[in-house]
């Protein structure tokens, strides 16, 4: 049993809780998530089952979409409503002012990682240092906010959607918006609506299923490994080449030349698969297709990143 599951995580549960539940339901040896969600958040949680755990690294760079609700006039230590309130005020703001400030964050911005986060310092998550009273300055990160749309303003609450790059903290975004507005703000609700090519319409709500049918439905909804990376070019190989790759062979130009594949650029990811669709490996191109055509057949053309049984 190998594949990818898209779970609709409920609020109040950690991503680890959901992983544990799915592992137990499926009787799987290995289940991992590809991008955690805070307990407060709901929505798209990508889980990799057994052999598919090798795919997790290829989901790590995925862009994401969120719908967030922000509470104006409240600052907390965790940057969301579940933390200790540090400051509180009554925001006196105009709707257009709020909209302009929120949507003005579109672009590349610098965010400070929350002190209550899983980002590690000296091998330990920041939240553990913080809970022990050790004050560590969290790192700054550059992230991209591709689109922000304010959907509703009912002061002190503001609901907006955002499309963003990996590593974006919506809690930090809300706090930064509050600082710019001068009243402070924290995150009060969050739903991830898309992660990479997976959206909330693909997600399974475990809470909506009867206990007796959960395992069967999860097995039926498993996305095969070969279908889990639709944006990566597929290159068909024969059984002999597949066996060689599994034994450590690095594909050379001779294997790639003549393959019916679109033009590739250096560092593009590719999938090597058998004619029946079974995936053999994911690799990174060392040269563009144009360069490969000019090199000798024995020159290594791609670097294998993951091999699948």
CA pair distance 76, 87, nearest whole angstrom: 7
Tens of pLDDT, residues 72-102:
999 999 999 999 999 999 999 999 999 999 9
More confident residue, 258 or 230: 230
- Answer yes or no: 100 catalytic: no
186-213, pLDDT tens digit by residue?
A: 999 999 999 999 999 999 999 888 888 9
**Which class is domain 3-62+197-226?**
alpha beta
CATH superfamily of 232-307: PUA domain (2.30.130.10)
Instruction: Please report the pLDDT score of residue 124 as a whole number.
Output: 79
Residue 43, C-beta contacts closer than 8 angstroms, at least 6 positions apart: 8, 9, 37, 66, 190, 191, 192, 193, 200, 203
Angstrom distance (rounded) from CA 176 to CA 171 = 9
- Please pick, among 38, 65, 80, 176, the residue that the annotation labels catalytic: 38
Asked if residue 164 lies in contact with residue 64, where contact means CB atoms within 8 angstroms, the answer is: yes
Q: Residue 94's pLDDT is what?
A: 94
CATH number for the region 64-193 comes to 3.30.2350.10
Residue 290 pLDDT more than 70? Answer: yes
Say yes or no to pLDDT of 121 above 80.
no
Residues of the chain with CATH 2.30.130.10: 232-307
| Alpha carbon distance 306, 309 (integer Å) | 10
What residue ranges of the chain are covered by domains with CATH 3.30.2350.10?
3-62+197-226, 64-193
| Dihedral sign computed on CA atoms, order 167, 168, 171, 176 | positive
Beta bridge partners of residue 75, listed in sequence order: 87
Residue 260 has pLDDT above 60, yes or no: no
Q: What end-to-end distance do the CA atoms of the chain give, in Å?
A: 12
């Amino acid at each position: 049993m190998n594949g990818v599951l898209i779970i609709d995580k409920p609020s109040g549960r950690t991503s680890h809780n959901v992983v544990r539940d799915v592992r137990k339901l499926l009787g799987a040896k290995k289940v991992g998530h590809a991008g955690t969600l805070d307990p407060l958040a709901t929505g798209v949680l990508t889980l990799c089952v057994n052999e598919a755990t090798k795919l997790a690294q290829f989901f790590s760079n995925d862009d994401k979409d969120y719908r967030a609700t922000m509470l104006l006039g409240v600052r907390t230590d965790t940057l969301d409503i579940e933390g200790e309130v540090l400051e509180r005020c009554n925001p006196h703001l105009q709707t257009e002012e709020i909209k302009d400030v929120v949507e003005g964050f579109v672009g590349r911005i610098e965010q400070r990682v929350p002190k209550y986060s899983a980002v590690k310092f000296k091998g330990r998550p920041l939240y553990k240092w913080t809970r022990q009273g050790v004050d560590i300055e969290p790192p700054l990160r550059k992230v991209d906010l591709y689109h922000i749309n304010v959907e509703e303003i009912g002061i002190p609450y503001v609901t907006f959607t955002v499309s963003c790059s990996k590593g974006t903290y919506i809690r930090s975004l809300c706090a930064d918006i509050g600082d710019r507005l001068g009243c402070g703000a924290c995150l009060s609700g969050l739903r991830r609506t898309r992660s990479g090519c997976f959206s909330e319409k693909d997600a399974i709500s475990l809470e909506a299923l009867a206990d007796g049918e959960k395992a069967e439905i999860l097995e039926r909804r498993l996305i095969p490994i070969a279908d889990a990376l639709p944006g990566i070019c597929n290159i068909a190989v024969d059984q002999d080449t597949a066996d060689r790759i599994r034994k450590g062979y690095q594909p050379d130009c001779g294997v790639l030349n003549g393959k019916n594949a679109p033009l590739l650029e250096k560092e593009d990811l590719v999938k090597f698969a058998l004619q029946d669709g079974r995936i053999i490996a994911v690799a990174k191109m060392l040269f563009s297709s144009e360069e490969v055509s000019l090199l000798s057949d024995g020159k290594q053309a791609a670097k294998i990143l993951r091999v699948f049984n």
